[in-house]
Amino acid sequence: MTIDKISPVRSCTNDSCHIEDGESCAMGEDAPCDCEFYTHENDDITDIPESNEYGVLWSGNTLGVQDLRLLQARDRSLTVGVLGSHNTGKTTFLLIAYLNHIRRGIELTYTFAGSKTLGAWENLSSWPRLDTSKSTFPPHTSRQAERMPGLLHLALRDNTGELVDLLLTDAPGEWFTTWALNAEDSNAEGAQWTAINSDLLIITADCKKLSGSDRGKARGDLINLFQRLSPFAKGKPTFLVWTKTDELENNPIPMKIKETIVDKLLKNIPHAKQHEVSIQEPDSVTNVLHALLKEHDISKNSLAITTPIIDNTSFMSYRGNNAQQ
């Protein structure tokens, strides 16, 4: 789902199968074309690489709903929804987070402990890695999967050794612009899925756009998104992330525009916090992700069980690891 290309129109007539969303065949076929319910047209346009045909965890592709069940059986997993309109730096944010985690020798609060979507991460990474003189940003995220975004997986370990599976959404920005205007639009299903299913939320605010000639539209899109997201963000750690801050030195965001955005953010999502990131400072991205996880831990701990200790023997006093003693 990460590289733009012409693909055949693929569909499955089995209602309980979501193979179009990147999942495995519900009938258990390894190759979807072996399934009686599966059809694909325009096959002559392009060959699909084999890895795209298999919706199983070892393919390394982005995950779908059925894949999640396999992952969630292992431990707690957290879905991080990354929302923002087209070109606001969502995929770049995710990619920097991945690349920074796999770099050796850097001190991190949460360390890299694996990924089920290495194929998808490495596909994205090939763009900046191509060649130092020609390296480039990842391409625009295509809107092939309509019902849910592609999920990128990062397993991280905190300093107590506890594992957390992060599922990061990589969705096309058009979904959110459409959803902000009309939640019922059929092109907005994936955005709605993201808002409902995310445990943690990141909204990207593009400093370059907000200081450029199209800043009025950029501001409008962002405020519409705050309003639409407001009921879904309740109780979820939410960050507004100002992306591309390296652009601000030459072209700052007009004060009035920034004030309006912050004002609307706090009206609609009062608990939202703000952070700044830039490709020039990769650690800024990692810090945001870690701060979001810390925020989640704080909100989780505030709900910790506080059963009073009413017996003196240590056996009777034990309340489990989660209880505050």
Ligand X SMILES: Nc1nc2c(ncn2[C@@H]2O[C@H](COP(=O)(O)OP(=O)(O)OP(=O)(O)O)[C@@H](O)[C@H]2O)c(=O)[nH]1
Q: Quick one: which of 77, 88, 141, 194 contacts Mg ion (CB under 5 A)?
A: 141
Contact mark string toward Mg ion, 54..93, x via CB under 5 A: ------------------------------------xx--
| C-beta closer to ligand X: residue 25 or 96 | 96
Distance of alpha carbon 54 from alpha carbon 38, whole angstroms: 13
CB-neighbour burial class of residue 8 (10 A; exposed 0-12, middle 13-18, buried 19+): middle
| C-beta closer to ligand X: residue 164 or 285 | 285
Q: Quick one: which of 60, 89, 150, 237 contacts ligand X (CB under 6 A)?
A: 89
* Torsion on CA atoms 239, 57, 50, 81, rounded to nearest 10: -10
Nearest to 204 by CA among 92, 323, 117, 299: 92
Query: Are the C-beta atoms of 256 and 243 separated by less than 8 Å?
Result: no
Distance of alpha carbon 166 from alpha carbon 256, whole angstroms: 36
| CB of residue 207 to ligand X, shortest distance in Å | 8
Q: Quick one: which of 37, 39, 65, 86 contacts ligand X (CB under 6 A)?
A: 86
Give the interface size with ligand X as a residue count (CB under 6 A): 20
Query: Are the C-beta atoms of 268 and 227 separated by less than 8 Å?
Result: yes
Q: Where are the alpha helices (DSSP H) in 8-77?
A: 50-53, 65-72
| CB of residue 141 to Mg ion, shortest distance in Å | 3
| C-beta closer to ligand X: residue 219 or 244 | 244
Contact mark string toward ligand X, 163..182, x via CB under 6 A: ---------xx---------
Positions that interact with ligand X (CB under 6 A) = 84, 86-92, 137-138, 140-141, 172-173, 243-244, 246-247, 278-279
Site residues (vs Mg ion, CB under 5 A): 90-91, 141
